[in-house]
Structure 1
Amino acid sequence: MHRKRRCLSALLLLVLLIQMEPTFIIDGGPEFGVNVGAPVRFRMWGGGKGAGIVRREDWDSLSDWGQFVRGLKFGSDNAPLGVWFGGLDSYSLLSGHLVRRYSNRANPDYHPAGGFLTGTLGPLYTEAFVSDVLGARLMGAEFSLDIEHVFFGKAKEHSRYTLALSAVRDWGRAGGRAPSVTLAHADAMAVVVVRPDYEVHLVAGWGGRPGEHGAWGAVAGAGLDAGTETLNLRLRLEARRQQGGFRQGFFGADYELARFQAAGTDCAPLADAGFPDGYSAFGEAEVGWDAVSYGGLYRHLKLSLGAEAFSWGRFDVDGRMAVQLFERSLEVALKGLGVGMGQPGARYLGAAEVRWRFLGGKLYAMGTGGTLLFPTAEGTLRPGAFASVGLGVDNAR
């Protein structure tokens, strides 16, 4: 009798680790910065026979050495050329119709340094990225052409009417072998309302999988970008059509796990998994609020939430929130991911972090906990959980 393949491994390991994270930072202003360092985890207990003192899975590939680069910045979005290297967390490639809310370190045993480049030349704006600068993995680019600039010269309000073309390929040769896949997408965007504190735009696009007959998708939607001294707000709402296995946001928050095994019951990699034809509604909100118009990286409230509901009964959601309380002495951060909800084989992940600052804010105590999924050599995902407590010191808030 044929036995159905199990999608999740039942192996459970209990390991006690102590982690040290030396860090070196140079803040050179808005167009230069260096942040290097890496978490080094020493095994105190558990791990099985033959386990070394340093957790081997953190350093067993060339790509893992990329985790030393926490952030390396040259230029900025406002400069003609900008380059950034480090971990990619909730990264979207311009329009976001191929790469949206992607994190390159969702696999707990894979720690690459990614990077992206932005550049402007006349009416052409380009963004290119790689998920792993030391391995053949995700690579892509999007080219956006300012139509008004082409026909009438540089306008006061740039990029009001644009045409864009993007393409992304996963070579599947680092961070564990997985099927390669290529996607492309074309977009048109028009900013229809411009006010001092906000603007509204409309977008429409079409994409597909080159070489895969009948694999295509279409999208139409609207967005709002608003900004005041205390509030930054971005809203997106889109109606989508999927056909033949293509979908918008293919390289998303769950991709580093789904490339081995997509959510569902067939246990297949995402590149080969069946995806029903149908429609979906996608919404995204990003909110940054600060009560005192604080100009730093951290705010009293940061919220990022993306959700997609499909006509055939599936629901995906990815969100994260961080709040600062008691004069910024206490910070609480939550994040969660649900993929394939409403269908058999749904996938859930979550984590929380609490950080309490004292002695003027430079010293802090923290506690974290959450769930993980570890890809195995057999192509399944092994569930796990983590919890940690620690102390730290910094001078950047």
Structure 2
Amino acid sequence: MEASGLALLPREGMGAAEGFALVEPTLILDGGEELGVNLGAPVRLRLWRGGEGAALVRREDWDSLSDWGQLVRGLKLGSDNAPVALWVGGLESYSLLSAHLVRRYSNRTNPDYHPAGAFLTGTLGPLYTEAFASDVLGARLMGAEVALDVQHLLFSRPRQRGRYTLALSAVHDWGMAGGRAPPVTLAHLDGTAVVVVRPGFEAHLLAGWGGRPGQGGAWGAVVGAGADAVTPTLDMTLRLEVRAQRGGFRQGYFGPDYELARFRAAGPEGVPLSEAPFPDGFSLYGETVVGWDSVRYGGLQKHLQLSLAAEAFTWGRFDVDGRVAVQLFGRSLEVAVKGLAVGLGQPGARYLGAAEVRWRFPGGRLYALGTGGTLLFPEGVGALRPGAFASVGLGVDNAR
């Protein structure tokens, strides 16, 4: 259980601040690798302001069917090694397999939209499939990618699976939940070859081509390389790509900014992403994800977790997003900072940032927490209302 005081702070001249008592009960059942359940949701009880007729519980948190999905914070059925596996809950920095359509996407960037997403994975012979939905209770972002193990198809099952693959992905946004926005469809074809295999290390080359079905001249191509390293204390992924974009198509279209950009893309035009002009050109994309622990720790938390991605375009735009979290003093103190900057170097650039601190008192069950950051609230197509939040409080649990 966490209990804190929360203040939502609009920018100057855009309304009064709102204050809430924030209570967040959580129930976690750990069934091992094959089963896990995490239930709970933040309940914001109004303390001051909000205007005439404002409800005790913040109405925007529960005013649609999709918002009830936030009660399921995580449901896991099956493991990474199972023939079929399912995950339901919040999607944070989610990427769809090759990640050339959906990369580092979050389905809760909109502060007034709290859906439960899901992704399903399955293996059948030489085929590996992953399908996802950003909102299991609404018609929103849906897609799938099917990867074919070429070596398995031609020469029977290999000792190491997935060394040479061809993959086809397609994603469609229905735009009918979490606020209406124009629908959009993208597709991508990818090829990957693992060229170096050593204990704890792999390197691969990749190439791909994608476009917007039904929209002539909208296409893009990509070539790149990546590496994965795993040791008892380190888990690291690196990726570097050169991309070409034409006719408004771009790789990573459904990215960390998408739940805001689908209403208003970064830039001076004030139009949704599906209608925003995107110059023809090239870009260089880099991404690194690092998890490091000073001991061989089997939990999800690490002494250092770093996730950073950046893309530089030849016509003068730069995008970057990342998160870093560190644990100190015997894991008693955790500090996390995340940020997003879209359209740097161009008019109408967008910035978001947040920080969180958790201090666990001696004994380990009681902890203090503080958070703060900036927000953007969609108010129809073409409008985003800026704001900020700050919260301090206490939490208690019986397991870490």
Superposition TM-score tier, normalisation by shorter sequence: over 0.9
Q: Which of 254, 258, 263 does residue 261 from structure 2 map onto?
A: 258
Question: Is 2:97 aligned against 1:94?
Answer: yes
Q: Answer 1 or 2: higher relative contact order, Cα 8 Å, separation at least 6.
A: 2
Contact 1:9–1:380 (CA<8 Å) still a contact in 2?
no
8 Å contact from structure 1 (residues 140, 166) kept in 2: yes
Q: Distance in 2 between matches of 1:110 and 1:53?
A: 19
Q: Aligned equivalents of 1:34 and 1:392: distance in 2?
A: 20
TM-score by length of 1: 0.97
**For residue 55 of structure 1, what is the amino acid of its counterpart?**
R
Contact 2:267-2:343 at 8 Å conserved across structures: yes
Match of 1:188 among 176, 188, 191: 191
Contact 2:228–2:236, Cα closer than 8 Å, also in 1 = yes
Paired residues in the alignment total: 390
User: RMSD between aligned alpha carbons?
Assistant: 1.1
After alignment, is 216-225 or 359-368 more displaced? Answer: 359-368
Task: Verify the 8 A CA contact 2:264 2:381 in the aligned structure 1.
Answer: no
Deviation of 1:121 after TM superposition, in Å, equals: 0.3
8 Å contact kept, 1:102–1:252: yes
Query: Out of 32, 37, 43, which is 1:34 matched to?
Result: 37
Matches for 1:257-296 after TM superposition, within 5 Å: 257-296=260-299
Equivalent residues of 1:220, 1:240 under 8 A apart: yes
Q: Does 1:374 align with 2:377?
A: yes
One-letter code of the match for 1:95? S
2:155 is equivalent to residue 155 of structure 1: no
Corresponding residue number in structure 1 for 2:4: none
Query: For residue 303 of structure 1, what is the aligned residue in structure 2?
Result: 306
Partner of 2:207, secondary structure, is strand
**Equivalent position amino acid for 1:61 in 2:** S
In the other structure, the counterpart of 1:394 is 397
Instruction: Give the share of equivalent positions with the same residue, in percent.
Output: 73
Aligned partner of residue 186 in structure 2, secondary structure: strand
Counterpart Cα distance in 1 of 2:369 and 2:253: 34
Structure 1 unaligned residues grouped into runs of 5+: 1-7
Contact 2:263–2:380 (Cα < 8 Å) also in 1: no
| Counterpart selection for 1:176 from 175, 179, 182 | 179
| Structure 2, unaligned runs of 5 or more | 1-10
TM-score normalised by structure 2 residue count: 0.96
1:166 paired to 2:169: yes
> 1:361: how far off?
1.4
SS of structure 1 residue aligned to 2:275 = coil
| Distance (whole Å) between structure 1 residues aligned to residue 358 and residue 27 of structure 2 | 21
Aligned to 2:55: 52
Q: 1:81 aligns with which of 68, 74, 84?
A: 84
Alpha-carbon separation, structure 2, partners of 1:391 and 1:181: 43
The amino acid of 2:156's aligned partner reads G
Instruction: Provide the C-alpha distance between the structure 1 equivalents of 2:126 and 2:169, rounded to a whole number of angstroms.
Output: 16
In the alignment, the residues of structure 2 paired with residue 177 and residue 255 of structure 1 have an alpha-carbon distance, to the nearest angstrom, of 14
Return the alpha-carbon distance in structure 2 between the equivalents of residues 294 and 77 of structure 1.
19
Residue deviations 1:267-315, cap 9 Å, x none? Answer: 0100110000000000000000000111101000000001000000000
What is aligned with 2:224?
A: 221
Q: CA deviation at 1:22?
A: 1.2
Q: Distance in 2 between matches of 1:281 and 1:319?
A: 17
Cα distance, 1:59 vs structure 2: 0.3
